[in-house]
Structure 1
Amino acid sequence: MARHGTRSPTTKRIKELDRLAARLDVLLNDAKDEAGQNSSSLNTPAWLWGWRSPWEGKQKGGELINKGEEELYLLGKRIKEKFAALFDEEYHPDVFSIRATQVPRASASAVAFGIGLFAGKGNLGPGGHRAFSVISESRASDMCLRFYDSCQTYKRYKENQEPAVDKIKEPILRIIAAEVGRRYQLGFTKQDVASLWFLCKQEASLLDITNQACGLFNATEVSLLEWTDDLEGFLLNGYGNSVNYRMGIPLLQDVIQSIEQAIIAKEGNHTPGTFEKARLRFAHAETVAPFACLLGLFLEGSEFEQIQREEPLDLPSKPPQKRNWKGSVVAPFAGNTMLVLYACHSDDSTKVISSEDRRKKYFVQVLHNEIPVRLPGCGNIDFCPLEVFKEQIVNPHLKHNFDSVCNFMPENTKIHLVSDS
């Protein structure tokens, strides 16, 4: 389950950056007028004067850029190398199932991944590429990868919670606006800081520029701004409320179905090429983050027991305290979570093994961003016996179904507020 690769700003964000350019012109001219004869003493970075958005004039946005293509292409190549035995047979769409959302950057990511994964498996061009299938469902009916579009309970929760998220972020942005404004003698507002922080992230991730917008903030301010982003992701896509991730039950059911079918094929000695060997999915941060929560990733202490009781967790700790929930780790561009099913063979090939014992030889390993993860729901080990994985991690979620989660507002909806101390 992978998020699409690095993309350009969306159309909405392009307009925000255009407004920022006009706003900076006003602030700089005001500062110059106020300084009068002493304008040469203004402590403002040179790049601000006459700055224009790199995306100025673009009418469309949100597309996968070259960097994003490369991220997924290289991911495909690494997975092929790591699991060589899985991908050693001839391609068939039923053996290597690839699905993506209907959003172009997700399907383009699936294509880039497939080019890396199946390189050398065909006869197209000097790279020996081959055609492969990427299936997308309509946004309205894509319950596995865009469940958040169809979950009415989540939509109501998000609409009600967004003002609370803004209220949490407001004091941090206000304090940073005052500090940065004093530093550069400009009358920054909290909205200016929010837009400059977004510009910082775009420059760093898309253009490899870190000495302009990012350079306006010191290390402490960057940590706090990252924290406000993490709070928003936690409350709207993470452990802030159980509806955020339980609406992803169709995706979890899809995973379990894949595992069960693989075991049936293994136990039945099915002929290679007649059964699925990999189920590959490409979507968005709003898919990847809830999926990580369904598996119980990024939890601390007794928090796994809390989510089993459907209790919202406390907000991620404010810097300089450490926290597990970081958006840059949970669902970055090209972020991914893999579940790998292993079959462990008995040393005694002559021993008759019962069906129950056969089930005990299967293990699930979870890798997040290609790194094995110790599962809180499985005694903090990274090779989890399949039956334990199902009983402790999966089944508590499957007490519900999509309709029961998404057609009512849970009583435990909790609005989080923090002070600016």
Structure 2
Amino acid sequence: MANPPQIVLLLPFLFSAAALLSHAEEKFDVRSHLSTVTRYHISKGISENSFVPSNIPDQCKPIHLNLVARHGTRAPTKKRMKELEFFATRLGVLLENAKGQKSTVIPSWLRGWKSPWTGKHKGGELINEGETELYELGIRTREKFPELFNENYHPDVFPIKATQVSRASSSAVAFGMGLFSDRGKLGPGRHRAFAVTSESRASDIMLRFHDCCQNYKSFRKSQEPSVDKLKEPVLNEITQELVTRWGLNFTRRDVSTLWFLCKQEASLLNKTDQACALFTPSEVGLLEWTDDLDVFMLKGYGNSLNYHMGVPLLDDVIQSMEQAIMAKEDGLVPGSYEMARLRFAHAETLLPFSCLIGLFLDGREFQQILNEQPLQPPLKPPQKRSWRGSTVAPFAGNNMLVLYSCGSANETSKYFVQVLHNERPVQLAGCGNSDFCPFEEFKEKIAYPHLKHDYDALCTVESEKPKQTAPTSTFSRILSWIFSSSAKQTKESEL
């Protein structure tokens, strides 16, 4: 029987819709949805907006650069490797319990699965891919700002600082090798030695302020159950879907471990056809959102303490730019003063610093944080959001604050700041959404509202603060002075 005319007419549209759906599925890359476990080169390929950077006038030249960078891709920590080893045993139990169910096709890789990190006794170190990320970032930084990095190396001209955690200091070394390659006489790569300095972990309020802030530690511990409660409905829903789909009696904890395994496989091993393949693209999007929510609430704009404890770092950045301006005003030649201050730390450093300079905000939200009001959590998929861990703080994520001198004294402003986030110029909500901000405006509207806070006052637990003694009355002080003077005179007479 001939097809009815309306069905014949619909067939091209049905095939077209199927082709679009197939294309969308092919286009989905789980590696760009791994929140803060996303590799740097993947993150750079994620384009969230169509912002067109400013054209910097020819007379404007960079005179100083501040870098705050996260370490590169690292191995899972010892604790998480243990978790994956326990999960291998747990999988064996789940598969044994599912033996009688023949209707479900269980992925073959699950049978006899062992963690790729089985047998490793240490963890958390920078891996080869992480070294490459920072090495290549160093090369690109020199190429982008030749005016700053053509000078001969000196530790006072290019100070490099890192935390005492090995993955951060290793990242600093990899970056320095790229930045100063072909500048020395060591080996075929003509490398040169350079200094990397670190503060003690116990007192590093510049790059590990989160580790030294007791009030933040207490706050985070108290808030984690609430954040877990917000994520619970999503994890429950996905758990039920996985149980139905694969016929294994997964718990919510199992699903969290599988998602962690997916992120490690996709990011570190470039493997997306095992743990990640257990989830649909929409489930991956929701799991990514739970991670982003966690980062937002406990390290980002969710509470002002999260970022206000980073004021020592912001103050250091402002001071370094002011010193560069003074050197320029005094007519010092490049290479005789500090040209760049380069810092290597962690997501817990980069995220609060990004908040302090007001990244990923619109004007209304910027006013909210100046009033110390928490922002609304990132919107749940399928709604779009600007706060994504994969772009905010991926492995090797970084902020560069470039100070420009624009020469003519007749201009309304002589010095400007441009912020590059992951090497891209970004809008500053505190500077009228411009990416090229007069330095004085950057200080007054973006930095100073935060710098009124004192790190010790923010972070010291109330019971540990020095007790204020009652002020001594004027009469008591006079009596004390009289009697002490009399006693002194008596003593002298006796002598």
Q: Give the TM bin, normalised by the shorter chain.
A: over 0.9
In the other structure, the counterpart of 1:70 is: 132
SS of 1:365's equivalent in the other structure is strand
- CA distance in 1 between counterparts of 2:239 and 2:446 reads 43
| Unmatched segments (≥5 aa) in structure 2 | 1-67, 463-495
1:6 matched to 2:68: no
Q: CA RMSD in A?
A: 1.2
Which AA in structure 2 matches 1:21? A
Which of 376, 387, 412 lines up with 2:429 in the alignment?
Answer: 376
Which AA in structure 2 matches 1:387? E
- CA distance in 2 between counterparts of 1:185 and 1:383 reads 56
In the other structure, the counterpart of 1:416 is: none
- 4+ residue runs of structure 1 moved beyond 6 angstroms? none
Note the 1:86-97 alignment, pairs <5 A: 86-97=148-159
In the other structure, the counterpart of 1:207 is: 269
Contact 2:363-2:432 within 8 A present in 1 as well: no
Shift of 1:165: 1.3
The count of aligned residue pairs is: 395
In the other structure, the counterpart of 1:29 is: 96
In the other structure, the counterpart of 1:402 is: 455
- Give CA deviations for 1:201-259 in whole Å, capped at 9, x if unaligned: 00011000001100000011000000000010001100000000000000000100110
Note the 1:30-69 alignment, pairs <5 A: 30-32=97-99, 34-35=100-101, 38=102, 41-69=103-131
SS of 1:281's equivalent in the other structure is strand
Shift of 1:408: 5.8
Note the 1:135-154 alignment, pairs <5 A: 135-154=197-216
More RCO (CA 8 Å, sep 6+): 2
In the other structure, the counterpart of 1:414 is: none
Contact 2:216-2:306 within 8 A present in 1 as well: yes
- CA distance in 2 between counterparts of 1:202 and 1:408 reads 37
- CA distance in 2 between counterparts of 1:316 and 1:255 reads 28
Which AA in structure 1 matches 2:453? H
1:18 matched to 2:98: no
TM-score when scaled to structure 2? 0.78
Shift of 1:407: 2.8
Contact 2:181-2:190 within 8 A present in 1 as well: yes
1:124 matched to 2:186: yes
Note the 1:177-196 alignment, pairs <5 A: 177-196=239-258
TM-score when scaled to structure 1? 0.92
- CA distance in 2 between counterparts of 1:359 and 1:137 reads 40
- CA distance in 1 between counterparts of 2:389 and 2:333 reads 42
Which AA in structure 2 matches 1:183? R
- CA distance in 2 between counterparts of 1:107 and 1:359 reads 41
Shift of 1:20: 1.2
Shift of 1:359: 8.3
Contact 2:304-2:374 within 8 A present in 1 as well: yes
Alignment identity in percent? 66
Moved more, 297-306 or 320-329: 297-306
- CA distance in 2 between counterparts of 1:358 and 1:399 reads 29
In the other structure, the counterpart of 1:385 is: 438
- CA distance in 1 between counterparts of 2:381 and 2:461 reads 35
- Give CA deviations for 1:242-281 in whole Å, capped at 9, x if unaligned: 0000000000001001100100111111133321000000
- CA distance in 1 between counterparts of 2:433 and 2:333 reads 36
Shift of 1:301: 5.0
- Give CA deviations for 1:153-203 in whole Å, capped at 9, x if unaligned: 211110100111111112211110110111011111110010000000000
Q: Which protein has the larger Cα radius of gyration, Structure 1 or Structure 2? A: 2
- Give CA deviations for 1:40-93 in whole Å, capped at 9, x if unaligned: x43111111111000012111000000000000000000010001100010000
